Structure 1
Amino acid sequence: MKQQEQYCINQRNYELEKAHGAQQHTSNLSPHDKSKYYLEHRI
């Protein structure tokens, strides 16, 4: 049971990091490029 919990936590952290990384990456893009980026990466 504990291992399952740990997996869920790791998974959530991974998702958060991924989203955060995308946010940093898109913050300096124009709105058009940003929407294109999100379309390509499907976050």
Structure 2
Amino acid sequence: MRVNCNEKAMRFWALQYGPYIEVLEPESLRNQIKESIAGMSKKYSDG
């Protein structure tokens, strides 16, 4: 699907539905999502 929206809003939407979707573009948004996921993973890792 293609949408035109605020990038920040799209980032939070994508994080909410992360297991079910993949953001293809823009690359900057993909990178922001990767950073958020890495931060969450680090926070919840056992050590």
TM range, normalised to the smaller chain? 0.3 to 0.5
Structure number, greater radius of gyration: 1
The structure carrying a bigger helix percent of its residues is 1
Q: Which has the higher contact order (CA 8 A, sep 6+)?
A: 1
